[in-house]
Each structure stands twice: as C-alpha cells, then as structure tokens.
C-alpha cells in the first residue's frame, strides 16, 4: 500500500512539473518587432557609447487599448550600432495595436537627447501598427528615416 501511495505521489509531482513545461510566456503571446532607425540615411551615432552613457533608445507608446479594454504597456529597446532594433516585450512579444514610436539619442545617459525631444514620447510624429495577424511571429517595420518625419514634428 505504501509503495502505491509513493508511486501516486511521484506521478502527481511529475504531472505538476510537466504541466509548467513549455507553458509560461513565449513569444507566441505577441509579436517580435524589428526594424532599423536612421537619420539622413545613416544610423544614429552616439558619443560615450563605449562607457555605456551613449545609447539610442526606442520606445513604443500605446495609442489605444488592447484586448478586453486593457491599456497596452509601453515597451523599449536599445538600438544597435548599425541602427537595427528588436522589441520583444518582457519575453512575450509586443501586444498587437497602434503605437507611437519615440526615439532618443542619449549621449550622457537618461535625460539627455541629441534629438532635442523631436521624437520624444510626447512629440514623435511616427506611428506604427503591430498587426494582430503577426501574433507569434516577427513583424519588420523596415527602415525608419527620421528625416522623413522631422517636418511632421510639432
């Protein structure tokens, strides 16, 4: 009888342990967003990159609500030296929806911006759609040329 209880106990533990396997948060919950940001055809150069004060930061600011009327979260990523970026959210991908794309060219850490706020969360004229039908896959925004949007900035 004790051996049967022991076997049942270990089976229950195994079932519980395996029920978490492969579950959790996967990129299948959202969309992996990629692209490239350039100004005048070239990636944004940032002084002090070698000391981790210089970065180009990209922020997706939600313009609407998501599923069930919930506000979509803001998401951010650092832009690589070649201008490329990859937004994954907190490991689950980006929720589909409409976003404003903010870009900061920081040379002295947070608060600095060589773009003078022209593409800040408040002022950026760049809007992007993350389509629902790309859920579980990648969506490439292509090349985003800041000069094409500079005239639209308030």
pLDDT > 90? residue 69: no
Question: For 79-82, which contacts have Cβ atoms below 8 Å and span 24 or more sequence positions?
Answer: 79/37, 79/43, 79/44, 79/55, 79/103, 80/43, 81/43, 81/49, 82/36, 82/43
Task: Tell me which H or E stretch contains 13.
Answer: helix 2-19
How far is Cα 72 from Cα 109, in angstroms, rounded to an integer? 26
| Lowest mean pLDDT across 23-32, 96-105, 143-152 | 23-32
pLDDT digits (tens, 9 = 90+) for 108-120: 888 899 999 999 9
Domains of the chain: residue spans and CATH: 25-150 (2.60.40.1120)
Q: Within its chain, how far is the Cα of 114 from the centroid? A: 22
Report the mean per-residue pLDDT for the chain: 79
pLDDT digits (tens, 9 = 90+) for 22-50: 333 344 579 999 999 999 999 998 887 77
């Amino acid at each position: 009888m004790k051996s049967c209880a022991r076997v049942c106990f270990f089976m229950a533990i195994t079932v519980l342990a395996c029920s978490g396997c492969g579950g959790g948060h996967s990129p299948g919950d959202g969309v992996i967003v990629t692209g490239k940001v350039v100004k005048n055809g070239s990636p944004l150069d940032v002084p002090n990159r070698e000391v981790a004060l210089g970065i180009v930061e990209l922020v997706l600011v939600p313009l609407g609500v998501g599923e069930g009327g919930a506000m979509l979260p803001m998401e951010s990523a650092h832009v690589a030296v070649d201008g490329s970026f990859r937004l994954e959210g907190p490991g689950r991908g980006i929720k589909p929806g409409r976003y404003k794309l903010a870009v900061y060219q920081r040379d002295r850490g947070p608060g600095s911006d060589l773009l003078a706020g022209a593409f800040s969360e408040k002022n950026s004229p760049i809007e992007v759609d993350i389509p629902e039908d790309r859920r579980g896959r990648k969506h490439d925004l292509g090349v985003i040329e800041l000069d094409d949007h500079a005239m639209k900035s308030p």
